[in-house]
Amino acid sequence: MVSLDTLTTTEKGATHTSVNGQAAAVGAGVLYVAESNGTQMEIDVSRRRRMTMLPLEVGTRVLCRWRDGKYHAVKVIERRKLPGGGGNDYEYYVHYNEFNRRLDEWVKLEQLDLDSVETVVDEKVEDKITSLKMTRHQKRKIDETHVEGHEELDAASLREHEEFTKVKNIATIELGRYEIETWYFSPFPPEYNECTKLFFCEFCLNFMKRKEQLQRHMRKCDLKHPPGDEIYRSGTLSMFEVDGKKNKVYGQNLCYLAKLFLDHKTLYYDVDLFLFYVLCECDDRGCHMVGYFSKEKHSEESYNLACILTLPPYQRKGYGKFLIAFSYELSKKEGKVGTPERPLSDLGLLSYRGYWTRVLLDILKKHKGNISIKELSDMTAIKAEDILTTLQSLELIQYRKGQHVICADPKVLDRHLKAAGRGGLDVDVCKLIWTPYKEQN
Ligand code: ACO
Ligand code: ZN
């Protein structure tokens, strides 16, 4: 694509050497205004330039007006022709450089500031070059643009992942009394390829293409809560344990649903290996899922949680912290330490950091005398590495007289506790009736 400078030169030249009628007309117009009004000439040059760059190529970097009314730098991820539109009538799927991928969206041409187009990158050529040889600098650059807790994915797997999942397929879902905008791509079976909206039964999680199908289903579906055992009830809050082996379809449906809100997680089709802990708010109509976490039946890496999700309408109410706390209560019952599966998402990391900070600092505040990381780990079931990184990030580990010590100045602890946010909903351990998986068989 030509730069603005080259185009200006061409434009001027065109006034003398136009080869077809259209170019001559544009050229003549520019010549005319160039003699009378410099500003008008710039406007025409700019308009001409815009026309030649349309439709924008995938890979183009440009400024885009977001919902806050301001312009933000984006990259064009995909484009599609508008139905019934002319040759250049496209809409564009863009990624905002400074935001998480969940905010990627289809935008209209009017939202793009074409004067800001930087370069046009041929994705395929770029991909080839990158896969042939990636310098350390390039690799770091790619990694740095994806700092949302995905640092453990190498640049190559990240590219592969993003290529495959680049455009959100399902835009909205209906679940119970909510219509929810989705965040990411989820690999629904091919027969749903043309769907942009899906209708879920909130109890068995079967999904359908049309509202009428869901209504018909609801008249027949006799579930009023997730399948499996209710292992916790406190007030209106209930937790159900669903064995993926015994409830395969439910487990798969839950994974399809959850993937719409989880980015860097592989969808496991082999749900047999997992237990799902589904948290519900219960009323006289039934138990409505607010979120869940999954857990491998046997984890060699001492993971006590594979994926965690609070459905968007229920987020920021403390359910995430409840689910995290619950996963550690299960670990305590198993007599093991646990850690969440990596990579953590941006929101996952925030929630875990908050949870770890609160639990550890509460103990440090109350504890008299020395305490080691190992003791903290035994008390909380939090893996020692996670304790260390949490305390280090709060700068509470100090090197004194030749050894590492935990700083427990009450004022400093209070300051950090305040910054860690609200405590979330508490797990009332007395109300948890559960035996670890291996003991059930
Ligand atoms: N913006 C800023 N901070 C946030 C946000 C947000 N949108 N969401 C959560 N936080 C932080 C806050 O510190 C919050 O505490 P506060 O409300 O007291 O300030 C804390 O995280 C957790 O808040 P909760 O209300 O307890 O958590 P929530 O119910 O919102 O669930 C969760 C958190 C599960 C991470 C949710 O955001 C979610 O489902 N996200 C999509 C899926 C996901 O990313 N899961 C984690 C992937 S990693 C893994 O699965 C191992
Ligand atoms: Zn159903």
Cβ contact 83:139 at 8 Å: no
pLDDT for 121: 54
Cα 213 to ligand 2 centroid, rounded to whole Å: 11
**Alpha-carbon distances, residue 47 vs 44, 53, 75 (angstroms):** 5, 10, 21
pLDDT for 407: 83
Cβ contact 424:322 at 8 Å: yes
Cα 124 to ligand 2 centroid, rounded to whole Å: 44
Q: In angstroms, rounded to a whole number, what is the distance separating the alpha carbons of residues 376 and 389?
A: 13
- Which bound ligand lies closest to the C-alpha atom of 261? 1
Q: Based on C-alpha coordinates, what's the Rg of the chain?
A: 28
pLDDT for 38: 61
Measured CA angle at 101 (ends 2, 340), to 5 deg: 145
Q: Whose CA is nearest to atom 5 of ligand 1?
A: 347
How is residue 163 written in tokens? 């290529």
User: pLDDT tens string for the chain (441 positions)?
Assistant: 322 222 222 222 232 222 232 322 222 223 223 334 566 666 677 777 777 888 999 999 999 999 999 999 999 999 999 988 777 799 999 999 999 999 999 999 999 999 999 755 544 444 433 333 333 333 333 222 233 344 456 777 777 767 777 889 999 999 999 999 999 999 999 999 999 999 999 999 999 999 999 999 999 999 999 999 999 999 999 999 999 999 999 999 999 999 999 987 777 668 999 999 999 999 999 999 999 999 999 999 999 999 999 999 999 999 999 999 999 999 999 999 999 999 999 999 999 999 999 999 999 999 888 889 999 999 999 999 999 999 999 999 988 888 778 888 899 999 999 998 887 789 999 999 999 997 455
Token pair 């890496």: residue: 301
pLDDT for 165: 76
- pTM of the prediction? 0.81
Q: Whose CA is nearest to atom 16 of ligand 1?
A: 421
pLDDT for 235: 96
- Which bound ligand lies closest to the C-alpha atom of 150? 1
- Full 3-state SS string of the chain: CCCHHHHHHHHHHHHHHCCCHHHHHHHHHHHHHHHHCHHHHHHHHHHHHHHHHCCCCCCCEEEEECCCCCEEEEEEEEEEECCCCCCCCEEEEEEECCCCHHHCEEECHHHEEHHHCCCCCCHHHHHHHHHHCCCHHHHHHHHHCCCCCCCCCCHHHHHHHHHHCCCCCCCEEEECCEEEECCCCCCCCHHHCCCCEEEECCCCCCEECCHHHHHHHHHHCCCCCCCCEEEEEECCEEEEEEECCCCHHHHHHHHHHHHCCCCCCCCCCCHHHEEEEEEEEEECCEEEEEEEEEEECCCCCCEEECCEEECHHHCCCCHHHHHHHHHHHHHHHHCCCEEECCCCCHHHHHHHHHHHHHHHHHHHHHCCCCCCHHHHHHHHCECHHHHHHHHHHCCCEEEECCEEEECCCHHHHHHHHHHCCCCCCCCCHHHECCCCHHHHC
Phi, psi of 112 (to 5 degrees): -95, 140
Does residue 341 have an active-site annotation?
Answer: yes
pLDDT for 341: 96
Catalytic option among 11, 202, 329, 341: 341
Phi, psi of 172 (to 5 degrees): -140, 155
**Site residues for ligand 1, CB cut-off 6 Å:** 261-262, 305, 307-310, 315-321, 340-341, 344-345, 347-348, 350-351, 354, 421-422, 424
Cβ contact 38:54 at 8 Å: no
How is residue 270 written in tokens? 């082999």
Cα 200 to ligand 2 centroid, rounded to whole Å: 8
pLDDT for 39: 67
Cα 214 to ligand 2 centroid, rounded to whole Å: 8
For a mutational test of ligand 1's pocket, the pick from 150, 281, 299, 350, i.e. the residue with the most ligand atoms closer than 8 A to its C-beta, is 350
- Which bound ligand lies closest to the C-alpha atom of 208? 2
Which residues are 105's β-sheet partners? 94
